[in-house]
Chains A and B, each alone.
Chain A
Amino acid sequence: MTLRAHVVVARGTLNLDVWLDAAAGEVVALLGPNGAGKSTILRCLAGLLGIDRGSIEILGSIVDDPSAGTFVPAEQRSAGVMFQQYLLFPHMSVLENVAFGLRARGVDKATAHKEAQHWLRRVGSEEVERSRPSALSGGQAQRVALARALASEPKMLLLDEPLAALDAATKVEVRRELRRHLTEFKGSAVLVTHDPIDAYTLADRVVIIEQGHVVQSGTFTEIAAHPRSAYVGELVGVNLLTGSVMGGVFAVDGGGTLVVAADDIDGSAIAVIRPQAVSLHARRPEGSPRNTWVGVVVDVDFQADRARVRLEGPIQLTSEITAGSAATLGIKVGLEIWASVKATEITVTLN
């Protein structure tokens, strides 16, 4: 593990107590509602805030351990941070912003600027190097902030809501680029988000934080299949299918197609289907649903008055029905059953 942390912090009404680790090259998403303490964890990892108890270890060396009196300040942690509001320096050009980390470490101006230009090229922003941050669009500012964080070659990357400040159209493109940079990044990365799609598309592993505590962690698919609480179910218990969309038909990676309402977009995409929108039937359903198929029940999870039914077949997804209808349908593992989803219940976003 390149990152191993036990973060215990009390701030106001927030009591944070979280175990967290990340391997080299791994991207971990901290997912949770606003005020859950996600950003505070990031600040502790970055060295901007000391922990009350616990310890933080990066690449085998302890950087924060109150019981031993160890605290390595932010400037010596080599953690590249991308802030939610980017916090570019307004009085410097884009190039100077990106070169800042190297200059601060004593690299001479010519070398630092050359290196900064290299990073600006990598994020595709070399044409704005002379601009002031105030002249940049949201997407450009995000790319520059990423280049600035990466240019000082950090051991660890910390991203606080990296896409939250962007409009929907820009978000798709920037998210795709960010994923590429995260894949290329050799160290471990921790990403804070409240958007399940960000967590699904960018992270290898998801840690769900609620009121300062980890409520569940694992891959997104694992968590979505077995949410440990109704809240987690709400948050990530959606069916996310990767594939491509064209002419109102969504082709799922790994087989299967769905008719969707979005017929104006083409390309690589993610289909989002709420489990409640997947209905189960003993016989082939008649009427409006355009998407019907026969699946096999592989798992049933009862939660109070509801049942989450995991289906395999042409399309793998989870259905949530009332416990009553589960009993009526005689749901059990191995049962073959008809499933249907209305085209209008499928949300498609480009990926």
Chain B
Amino acid sequence: MAVLAIAFFALPLAGLMSRAPWSDAGTILRSPNVRQALRLSIVCSLCSTALSVVFGLPLAWLLARRRFIGSSVVRALCTLSMVLPPVVGGVALLYALGRRGLVGQWLDRWFDLQLPFTSAGVVVAQTFVAMPFFVVTVEAALRQTEGGQDEAARTLGASSWYSFRRVTLPAIRSALIAGAVLSWARAFGEFGATITFAGSFPGTTQTLPLAVYRALDVDPREAIVLALLMVAVSFAVLVALRDRWLGGGERAR
């Protein structure tokens, strides 16, 4: 059964490789369109990972360490986008942050700020679907290390902040990295929310997955090359980090 499962995951990859136009791959990869999409994908996914960490860490801490009324509702709300179809997320973002949206109209009126169909919009859409992966991973780790060490630090005269930095964060280091990688991977591959909220404009909002989708219509050979490029980048990151942080990391330390 395990072998079947492995085959199930390997087969599509083999399918891509079998149809890849290896001779033209270099030319396609060097085309400005592709380079633009790759650069945009990397920059936006890194930005959204950064946002996921900056906002997700306090959120994970709140969910793990504070008891408050409705905390389970808040947790469900904050992880909803993990199970929601991304397109639905994109539509929802449009009605919230779009030019006529709930908040978007004020952003537009007061700050002349429009998020939809901009690179910033891409980052917002990606963060919306990717942050829960970071929050869930880190919250679980925070729960595991619950209480004791932090209390020990406080009796030794450490402020909550000092204890958080020196005791709690090092204790959940692997989870922080795992969570960041997971949310980065999710952002890097994000499609539905991005295309709905930010559109697909080459150079500003057309990330690699969107470029693959467009290329399928125009030039399937380009689509295959782009798809393999995404596979290569994601695979490299997962392999590089897996052994150290996601799996055997605990023992190695």
Contact = CB atoms under 8 A, between A and B. Distances in A.
Contact of B171 (A74, A79, A91, A105): A91
B155 A100 contact: no
Contacts of A78: 157
Given A89-B167, A90-B171, A91-B170, A83 B157 contact: no
Contacts, number: 65
Interface in B134-158: 148-149, 151-158
Contact of B157 (A48, A87, A89, A101): A101
A46 B158 contact: no
Q: Report the contact-size class of chain A (Cβ under 8 Å from the partner).
A: 20 to 34
Which one of B155, B158, B159, B160 has the highest number of Cβ atoms from chain A below 10 Å of its Cβ? B155
Contacts of B170: 89, 91-92
Contacts of A80: 155-156
B11 to A, nearest CB: 42
A55 interface: no
A235 B149 CA distance: 32
Interface residues of B, number: 19
A183 to B, nearest CB: 22
Contacts of A104: 153, 156-159, 162-163, 166
B152 A75 contact: no
B159 A87 contact: no
Nearest to B253: A91
B152 to A, nearest CB: 4
Interface in A40-95: 46-48, 73-81, 83, 85, 87, 89-92
A148 interface: yes
Contacts of B167: 89
B165 to A, nearest CB: 10
Interface of B: 148-149, 151-160, 162-163, 166-167, 170-171, 173
Interface of A: 46-48, 73-81, 83, 85, 87, 89-92, 100-101, 103-105, 148-149, 152
